[in-house]
Amino acid sequence: MGVHHAGFRPLLFNEFNNRACETLEASAKLTLGSDGIQRTLEVKPQPPAPGEPAPLFPGDVQDLDLSAFHGKVDLLAGGPPCQPFSAGGVAKGDEDKRNMFPAVFKAIRETQPKAVICENVRGLLRPSFRDYFEYIKHELTLPFVERDDEVRWQEHDRQLTKLIEGGGGGTADQRYVVRHIPVNAADYGVPQIRHRVIIVAFREDLAVDVDAFVKDVTRTPFDQEALYRTMRDVDGSYWGRHKVEDYVRDEVRDRLPKDLGPESENEERKVRPWRTLRDAIQGYGLDERLPALPAIDLGKLDRKTPQGGEITDHIGWPNARIYKGHTPNELDRPAKTVKAGVHGVPGGESVVLLDDREHDASAPGGWRRLHRYMTVRETARVMTFPDEWHGAGPRGEKMRQLGNAVPVVLAEFFAKKVAAALASVGH
């Protein structure tokens, strides 16, 4: 969705999970334009003509033959499953059968795109994966130098390293210039702390100034201190748009750092404040205003009563808990990372601490703040999906899809920068 919003026309979708396929189909016309999506079981699909729906292959990407797309792809974009490298998963890395980076390299060989964007978890940068991550980048640099099945990755990496250091390995239109950028989605306007790695590659023969591209995308447009400054004054811009009880505002202001440092650099870069969970719920987006989500009636946390009016998936859920290691989201900070947990969402990431409070003699000050689970719609807003996005399946499946997704705003930012880089060299 983010790539489409950046101006690219989708030529093909692939998704293994059937519920996610249903979500793509349900949301396509509303969120991806009038062309929509058409499911196909052809393992060798054809590119759609302008105005035709893009094919969706609902199966294993390893079965796809993309040779019909050769020379027709500006950007290959995707997120190879991150569980092999995630701290929340079993972290087997290259030994895990869910590692789909080899499918990325196969797709590059078959389509020879001008550029590639891959998103993955920050776990790829862990010391235990460092050597394999370097190997991934070497393979992306020389995707046409294939690895034989019987060859260990370490041996293939030595072959690639030798070719790269010697400046060889195929022709310029078969080689890619690769960079990886660690990101926090909050620095790009997403109302969520989400640490990820974006891997970007440009085809070498295009002569894109990749160092300038990296400098551009790392000049992040949003900043934590800028948020703190808007909160510092009682009638500052943040509290001007969010009318809250005095005790809520005072608690937030009391926790602000005393010294916020010089403001001159942020003013020069026109850095904007981090967006908060309260911003997302109240509809304060990047450049548009969405309707505020109605307050959830805590007396109707019944799993079934819609509370969003015309806005779907805004339903209260019971039995939210707070305990050590399971701390809630705070409304006046970016949300915690939305996760796709195996046994429900871990760490309190789907619990939110409310402004509402009740008397509790055992609590500090005699008051206890109430809490509840976030709704699917609130979570979708945290992932910067529009309200037209409709997830398929039960609540847990919708939350899983959101946890596995890339925030739309983050994807759009990088796709726009890739488009600008390609345009700068006449493509």
Backbone angles phi, psi at 358, to 5 degrees: -140, 160
Examine residue 301 and state whether it is found in any structural domain, yes or no. Answer: no
Gyration radius from the chain CA atoms: 23
Task: Tell me which residues are annotated as active site.
Answer: 82
Nearest residue to 133 (alpha-carbon basis) of 204, 62, 203, 197: 197
According to DSSP, the residues that pair with 335 across neighbouring strands are 192
In a domain, 392, yes or no: no
What are the pLDDT digits (tens) for 349-368? 899 999 999 999 988 889 99
Q: Which CATH number does the domain housing residue 101 bear?
A: 3.40.50.150
Q: Determine which helix (DSSP H) or strand (DSSP E) holds 115, and give its type and residue range.
A: strand 115-121
Range of the domain at 412: 2-220+408-424
From the list 381, 407, 377, 408, the residue with the least C-alpha distance to 395 is: 377
* Of residues 75, 40, 33, the one with CA closest to residue 417: 75
* Residues 220-236 as b or e (16 or more Cβ within 10 Å = b): bebbbbbbbbbbeeeee
**Strands 37-39, 115-121: pairing kind:** unpaired
Counting as low any pLDDT under 70, the low residues of the chain are 30-34, 82-98, 261-269, 341-348
* pLDDT at residue 89, rounded to an integer: 46
pLDDT tens string 130-173: 888 999 999 999 999 999 988 888 899 999 999 999 988 889 99
Of the candidates 355, 352, 357, the one whose C-alpha atom is nearest the C-alpha of residue 301 is: 352
How many Å apart are CA 79 and CA 205, to the nearest integer? 25
Query: How many distinct structural domains can be found in the chain?
Result: 1
Q: What is the pLDDT of residue 319?
A: 93
Other CB atoms within 10 Å distance of the CB of residue 314: 19
DSSP 132-164: HHHHHHHHHHSTTSPPPTTS-HHHHHHHHHHHH
Residue 372 inside a domain? The answer is no
Task: Please give the pLDDT value at position 342.
Answer: 45
**Does a structural domain hold residue 354?**
no
Taking alpha carbons only, the member of 147, 201, 200 closest to residue 173 is 201
In a domain, 17, yes or no: yes
Determine, yes or no, domain membership for 134: yes
pLDDT (tens digit per residue) in 7-58: 999 999 999 999 999 999 888 776 666 678 899 999 999 999 988 889 999 9
Asked if residue 305 belongs to a domain, the reply is no
Task: Examine residue 257 and state whether it is found in any structural domain, yes or no.
Answer: no
